[in-house]
Amino acid sequence: MRALLPFVFASFTLSSQPLAAALPVGAQAPDFTTTGAVGGKPFRLHLKDQLKHGPVVLYFFPKAFTQGCTLEAHAFAEAIPEFRKAGARVVGMSADDLDTLKKFSTEACRNKFPVATASPDTIKAYDVVLKQKPELTDRTSYVIDRKGRIVMVHSDLDWKDHVAKTLAAVKALKG
pLDDT tier for residue 16 given thresholds of 50, 70 and 90: very low
* Residue from 21, 45, 69, 73 carrying the catalytic annotation: 69
**CA gap 128, 61 in Å, rounded:** 9
The CATH number given to whatever domain includes residue 154 is: 3.40.30.10
Q: What are phi and psi of 172, to 5 degrees?
A: -65, -35
| pLDDT digits 0-9 by tens, 120-158 | 999 999 999 998 898 899 999 999 999 999 999 999 999
109 is catalytic: no
Q: Show the domain range for 67.
A: 2-174
95 and 33 in contact (C-beta within 8 Å)?
no
Among candidate residues 175, 132, 128, the one with its CA nearest the CA of residue 151: 175
pTM: 0.86
Q: How many domains does the chain have?
A: 1
pLDDT recorded at residue 175: 62
- Round the CA-based radius of gyration of the chain to a whole number and report it: 15
pLDDT digits (tens, 9 = 90+) for 46-96: 999 999 999 999 999 999 999 999 999 999 999 999 999 999 999 999 999
